Structure 1
Amino acid sequence: MTNLNDRARKRLDERLAVAKPMKQQTPPPKGWIRAIRDGLGMSGAQLGKRIGATPQNVEQLEKSEAAGTIQLQTLEKVARALDATLVYALVPNTSLEDTVHQRARTIAMRAITRVAHTMRLEDQATGSGELEESIDQYIRDELADRDLWSEA
């Protein structure tokens, strides 16, 4: 299953590798806004003045961020006011290459298992080495990236 997306996927995997440690970073209990504001010694009123909001609005923003319901554009605005940079990324649990390979293998196994079942019924079962070869061949010859995500 080699195509033009392979190189792009590998480059993206390389770029995302630096973000892997960030997955382990859990936000402070009251959220990053509150933690950074407190770390700077800035009051809610002072932050509010910097973003054009009331202290009550700042408190709402902090609660919204801690709850995970804050909008990204609002978080970006607050980050600028705190002289911070908003870092936003989706970090895959495994490499994109591994995810694509595993998905292709699952689909190939499903298709080949149906054929293997029929062959067993006809007393033409194949060995595990042949099964692996069949899986690789199915992935190579039958699947394209666009086919991987058509079904659940």
Structure 2
Amino acid sequence: MRPEDRATARRNLDRRLNELKYSEALTRPPRGWIRAIREALGMTTAQLGKRLGVVQSRVTAIEQAEARHTLTLASLEKAAHALDCRLVYALVPRKPLEELVEDRARLKAGKRLESTRHSMALEAQGVAEADEQEQLKRMVQRILDKAGSELWEDGE
């Protein structure tokens, strides 16, 4: 994917995910969604088991696995279907994707400039803070303009 297409994809995802970022509605109940919905519907574990085609003790195990974060998405989707629900799955970034990429580019640029700064200081050729900041800004932009998977390499 070209860098400009990646940037467009990030902006589109940021717009879609922004609403979810602050939504408490998607916070999983302490004992899990399956149990919360089953109980709210007034359904027993035996009744849900019949809808899932499993024994009652398996429903209890499924609910416990969800509460422990060990339930597979496939099992969660089957339970959702048995409860006449739709499984919604999303990764919600803690900050906008565009900001994550810019932060990473700034970190990489800072590391690159640090080695140059060190060499120049050894040769008594220090650079003014304003010039250094401008250089950092230009380097960050260059990294962003060609950013690909190398942005996430830890070698620098």
User: Offset of 1:19 from its aligned partner?
Assistant: 1.3
Structure 2 vs 1, CA of residues 27 and 144 (structure 1 numbering), >3 Å: closer, same or farther? closer
Q: Quick one: structure 1 residues 141 and 27, their matched pair in 2 at CA, closer, same or farther if it must change by over 3 Å?
A: closer
1:134 corresponds in structure 2 to: 135
Paired amino acid for 1:68 = H
TM-score by length of 2: 0.88
CA distance in 1 between partners of 2:4 and 2:84 (Å): 43
Determine the structure 1 residue equivalent to 2:106: 105
- Residue ranges of structure 1 left out of the alignment (5+ in a row): none
Q: Paired residue for 2:75?
A: 74
Asked if the contact 1:23/1:91 (under 8 Å) is kept, the reply is: no
Segments of structure 2 that go 5 or more residues without pairing to the other structure are none
Residues 61, 70 of structure 1: 8 Å contact kept? yes
Q: What is the count of residue pairs matched by the alignment? A: 151
Shift, 1:3, TM fit = 2.8
**Is 1:144 aligned with 2:138?**
no
**Percent identity among equivalent residues?**
42
Residue of structure 1 in register with 2:59 after alignment: 58
Matched, 1:40 2:45: no
1:130 is displaced (CA, Å) by 1.2
Q: Please list the CA deviations of residues 27-69 of structure 1 after superposition, one character each: whole Å capped at 9, or x if unmatched.
A: 2232111111111000001101111011001000000111111
Q: CA deviation at 1:23?
A: 6.6
Equivalence for 1:4: 5
Q: CA deviation at 1:21?
A: 2.1
Hey, what does 2:122 align to over in structure 1?
Answer: 121
